[in-house]
Chains A and B, each alone.
Chain A
């Protein structure tokens, strides 16, 4: 059994946003209309700017990428979905979302303690011609459904296919890397099987500076953050990572 997870080094993240754009390209997430705002935008991974709440010149900032935390225990969104549109894949530990089943009630959005789920307020639209550049492995979602990060499930399927062609049962870890991890220019994001102690991400999860968001809720998230700065580690207990996180 795999237990895919991610480690995010907050002391390396420079908030460039490459992960957010790579995610949108990979998962066929369109830009929202000009009159939209940060409450209605769709960003399966969103980088928040946080600070230590001091004034100049003692102000210090950091950037915190927040995506679906892939809860491993009592996954809140799974429990509340009336349509069984959310499930946890026992083979990978990935929390999946099936937009075809979703009826748009948004219970899961209310239940998610990490605010990592997004509602499609508009039909997916791209400027004329740009639909030719869509990723063939991911179907665009319709208006009125909820969506979220699924660790680039299309890539996982592609890796499985490659393994099958090569006659292997297990996928090559190098073959399955989510788009945000691949795009991160600073190497702040790492991905792998948390059950494999030889993998970097599993070792990262065990360092003393490592923490998870809202660990006290007991949802066993599979996203591990790391920072040597104490004030940054305090976000582990904050209901929302940044003061500007007012997505609602």
Chain B
């Protein structure tokens, strides 16, 4: 038999086909996969000694205690601390991934400190007026600002208004919430969930938010009619009229009044803790208590008073320094701009240019959690005074500027040791205990030396005053509820905030919540009822324009029959109010 060329090709072809049913090619694929796992594009996690460190989250005033698992000095994961008496081991999604923040791609990388300092000095040389806008008042840094501004000839300290009370959730048995997001990042989450099993929650809100979904009763109130329900509870509106305005049956309203009166202690909350809610708490003996603050050194008390931005004369500020280094209550720029003189120098300390940096002449890079050493003021639901530090876990990733040093230098004040001075003042007062997490111990301050107290705080400890519940005197403010607002015909829709916004200051991993899943509403999306969408000729998923008092916003619209007519659901708190939606 002779071997032809055809036989050779047949043999090779048959061999190739036959090889496919042997393990050889699959093994090759497997080996390729193993190789590809180790190619240089795939990062290798760092190895090293595993350590545990403790700190407090400074992303909001809850200041939840955190246990950081570190490889060497580098935190690789964060978890709550169960032994903390207020935060009780809970963290929100923002806090869980907070150790990623120093590497955020949108961080500022340039630090024009010298230019900003020179411009500010020049603006103040002619006797100009300087103000500091502190987005999170009540910190030791806030006291440093106030002391520095008292030393300057025309210094003004500006801050968002803070309630003079704390909310005692643990003592409440019936809670009426007018849209307060009690179960979604309100107060200290761990404290709220621990207290939740002891009170009946009635949520009065036009849309079914996360809090409404888990409330014992959801009152689907007509948009914008919350003030009518409050007026009935205050005895200022007949039941029939309240039912007609709110769209809630008379029986349910009457039962609400009965529950608040008979199943006390009661508590009435709204999103912004307004005077109207205060008036109702006065009427129903709400469980609000006087707010307590950690002691400060006597010498600090000659500080500039806290001023409201509205009280500042127009065109009077020559220099405005904005401390946006920690998240706080945002004051809209249109409320600030009229207060600035024509050539005013605005310096913002921020981590990105996306906030006040858009309006500032100089935006200086501020340190982020967990790079910065700071203290955290008490949360709204913290009955006792606390003092806890957000101890840095990593070195700053890039150039950073300290806003306190910038301001105090102008006044010739040395506030570099302010946190230690305050810790010493607390130690001197001798009240309360230091809670340390590594050993789960609570030690009375009077049993500690000042040095040990300071060391304990820096190792992630928390000072907490012994619980003193001082009932609120309810002396100030009107007893009357807010006047019932009439709807504005040009803005036919009530804008309701139904979500904690996934804002810019978060780990990129938060995309799991709004882009990689549909769990949270992105800030660029609104939700409408089918009725309103049809009236505006908007389709589900279509482009639209949201017109509000704060401007026009291009958005994507979703249509959901669960949203009542007359409501547009958004995820940006600052837009709450009234508005209009038109097709793009």
Contacts and interface: CB of A to CB of B under 8 A. Distances in A.
Interface stretch (A32-40, A195-203, A214-222): A32-40
Interface in A55-93: 55-57, 59-63, 82-83
Interface stretch (B9-17, B89-97, B237-245, B334-342): B89-97
B43 interface: yes
B37 A183 contact: no
A17 B518 CA distance: 11
B43 A134 contact: yes
B480 interface: no
B210 interface: yes
Interface stretch (A95-103, A106-114, A163-171, A204-212): A95-103
A125 B103 CA distance: 13
B397 interface: yes
A99 B37 contact: yes
Interface string B401-418: 000000000000000000
Interface residues of B, number: 68
Interface in B18-45: 26, 29-30, 33-34, 36-37, 39, 41-43, 45
The residue in A16, A37, A125, A142 that gathers the most chain B C-beta atoms within 10 A of its C-beta is A16
A130 B99 CA distance: 9
A18 B174 CA distance: 28
Nearest to B106: A127
Interface in B99-116: 99-100, 102-105
A100 B30 contact: yes
Contacts of A248: none
Interface size class of A (residues with CB under 8 A): 35 or more
A61 B512 contact: no
A56 B96 contact: no
The residue in A17, A43, A82 that gathers the most chain B C-beta atoms within 10 A of its C-beta is A17
B43 A17 contact: no
A239 interface: no
B509 A127 contact: no
Given A62-B213, A100-B37, A145-B33, A129 B511 contact: no
Interface string B37-55: 1010111011110100000
Given A57-B564, A129-B103, A134-B45, A21 B96 contact: yes
A11 B48 CA distance: 41
A185 B90 contact: yes
Contacts of A124: 42-43
Interface stretch (B70-78, B295-303, B432-440, B461-469): B70-78
Contact of A41 (B33, B45, B517): B517
Contacts of A182: 79
Given A43-B512, A100-B37, A103-B29, A18 B517 contact: no
A-B pairs, top 4 by smallest CB distance, nearest first, are: A41-B516, A185-B90, A59-B562, A131-B43
19 contacts: A14-B210, A14-B213, A18-B91, A18-B92, A18-B93, A21-B509, A32-B515, A38-B517, A46-B517, A48-B518, A56-B564, A59-B561, A62-B213, A83-B30, A125-B41, A129-B103, A135-B45, A143-B36, A183-B80
Interface of B: 26, 29-30, 33-34, 36-37, 39, 41-43, 45-48, 50, 71, 74-80, 90-93, 96-97, 99-100, 102-105, 183-185, 189-190, 193, 208, 210-211, 213-214, 220, 397, 507-513, 515-520, 529, 561-565
